[in-house]
Structure 1
Amino acid sequence: MAWQEEWNHFAADANQIATPPSLLSSKMEEPAPTQAMTGKNSLGKPIYNLCLPRSHCPSCKHTLTLFENLPLVGYLLCRGRCSACHTPISLRYPALELFSAGLAVGTLWHFGASWQALAAFGFAATLLALALIDIDTHLLPDTLTLPLIWAGLLVNLNASFTSLHSAVIGTIAGYLLLWLVYWGFRLLRGKEGMGYGDFKLLAALGAWLGWLALPQIVLLASASGALFGLIALMSGHLKREQPLPFGPFLVAAGLITLFWRAPFFVG
């Protein structure tokens, strides 16, 4: 039965990846206007997507104004506190905005003023969002990973980062590689070692950077993840049975590979 369930899951993922985002979105429930206004679905539960709920203070739920939402500027204008309840704003927000600005400068410097730089920044920004979501929720949502796969294949129609042939192989190989690791770990240990979102994330990295980049990405992600986990265990910040999200390490390895590849991983 377990094999049957996993095969069904695998087939469902393959169907989702093979479905263009425009067709995929039509199969998903779209919030009606009244639902969008209330922020709740037909069951009365909150709607969470890329648009809802709007940016707000996590303490008092105050909806941020346009100026409060400006990267870095909003934090400075509010002096690091919510304008409504005066709760201190986490340094995570300005740090994230500063890092995003660094990514923008880095892609512009590395790729020059070009459409390739714009695509690279969109790729990097999406990876950053996925890493943070995985840290917070241990989830890598299909609403980001699947469009990222298709975007990688589309930008490589003219070989922006790798050949289309390499991108297609990278997509398939990226997914299957972690799928095999997942099953190997499950057969040996009798439990799951990672989620299906990790498979799709590596497939997206393969779609953007090509199959030749996968060994470097997996090596960097595995080494950094193992080192971080060991340090966290020794310092008492992580318990032995506590899951550690793998997505952030894949993202870090993907960003490094976007800007630099070891000579023996270049084709």
Structure 2
Amino acid sequence: MSFVQILAATPWLAWTSAVVLGLAVGSFLNVVIERLPQMMHRAWQAQCAELNGEAPAHERFDLAYPRSHCPACKHPIAWRHNVPVFSWLVLRGRCAHCRAPISVQYPLVELAAAGLFAACLARFGVSWAALAAMGFCAACLALAVIDLRTSLLPDALTLPLLWAGLFVNLWGLFAPLSHAVIGAMAGYGVLWAVYWIFRLATGKEGMGYGDFKLLAAIGAWLGWLSLPLVMVAASLVGIVVAGGLLLLGRIRRGQPLPFGPYLAAAGVAGLLGGDAWAKLLAW
């Protein structure tokens, strides 16, 4: 009996595996969220140095090195202090070495990943579709948080997500392949057109190219038929959130806000929505 068959025959083990995997992946996503923008910044600095005829820095910095450490005191984090959620609670959100506060983002991302993985299992059962959906949700979660923090949607995440969507739909896992290809094209093209219409009308940039690539990736996963509802849902939620922040005085009128988190959330909703999402499409 294969491991997949064991999971299918043992529901409690399947649910436990999904949650534990989600917590572990969420812990890794925190590393991606923290380091990938820094890696991009260092790459830009190296390119500028080369253009200026300067020697670029050769200090290694990637997702694996240096090892996890406290952002404040740089002290390496012991394995027992790196257990998802549990360690943060035991340490009461502070570094074990210098007692500097540790952002609540870390346990929240881990819990969000665990919840999304459990939702994928509930939606697709023990299957390859569930595993693929977990990958999609993990990428969208990382992109949403990075965009919220930095207003960046890294190509290192959006482009592999797009190609992964086309790959899984070679077998029609979530949409027919023709729908996935058209979805990728339409997802990029629609926002590209909106960008240029807005820029020509106002002289300002309304969004970044990362938003085009993210919607193209969502189209590759869900197919072109889901794109109108994804766009409407993302736009409505974005308007409501922006209006609330404006009323609360948290932002100024005309201040740019990231659109990626709303696109990512709508994409996840489209993937996990099932019959409810299909009914909205039909309506």
The TM-score with structure 2 as length reference comes to 0.75
Q: What does residue 216 of structure 2 align with?
A: 203
In structure 2, the partner of 1:265 is 281
SS state at 1:188 partner? helix
Task: Report the CA distance between 1:126 and its aligned residue.
Answer: 0.7
CA spacing shift, 1:137–1:66, aligned 2, 3 Å: same
Tell me, what secondary structure is at the counterpart of 1:192?
A: coil
CA distance in 2, matches of 1:47, 1:218: 40
Partner of 1:68: 81
Counterpart in the other structure of 1:174: 187
SS of residue in 2 equivalent to 1:67 = helix
After superposition, the Cα gap between the structure-2 partners of 1:171 and 1:51, relative to the gap in structure 1 and judged at 3 Å, is farther
Structure with more relative contact order (C-alpha pairs < 8 Å, separation 6 or more) = 2
Change (3 A) 1:46 1:210: farther
State the 1:81 CA deviation: 1.6
Partner of 1:225: 238
Is residue 143 of structure 1 aligned with residue 156 of structure 2?
Answer: yes
Displacement of 1:53: 4.7
The match for 2:165 among 146, 149, 152 is: 152
Unaligned runs of 5+ in 2: 1-41, 44-54
Show the counterpart of 2:69: 56
Q: CA deviation at 1:114?
A: 0.9
Q: Distance in 2 between matches of 1:170 and 1:155?
A: 14
CA distance in 2, matches of 1:71, 1:155: 29
2:207 to 181, 190, 194: 194
- From 135, 145, 169, the equivalent of 1:132 is 145
RMSD, aligned CA: 2.0
Could you tell me which amino acid in structure 2 is paired with residue 69 of structure 1?
Answer: N
Q: Does 1:110 align with 2:118?
A: no
Q: What is the aligned length?
A: 227
1:165 aligns with 2:178: yes
Mapped to 1, the partners of 2:155 and 2:179 lie a distance apart of 23
More helix by share: 2
Matched residues in 2 for 1:106 and 1:264: separation? 20
Q: Does 1:239 align with 2:252?
A: yes
Q: Structure 1 stretch 223-232 or stretch 195-204: which is displaced more?
A: 223-232
Unaligned 5+ segments in structure 1 are 1-28, 31-41
> Following TM superposition, by how much is the alpha carbon of 1:171 offset from its aligned partner in structure 2, in angstroms?
0.4
The one-letter amino acid of 1:138's match is: S
Percent identity between matched residues is 54
Amino acid at match of 2:88: Y
State the shift of 1:125 in Å.
0.7
Partner-residue secondary structure (3-state), 1:62: coil
Residues in 1 aligned to 2:59 and 2:197: alpha-carbon distance in whole angstroms: 38
Q: Displacement, 1:47?
A: 5.8
1:68-87 matches, within 5 Å, as 68-87=81-100
* Cα distance in 2 for residues equivalent to 1:155 and 1:63: 39
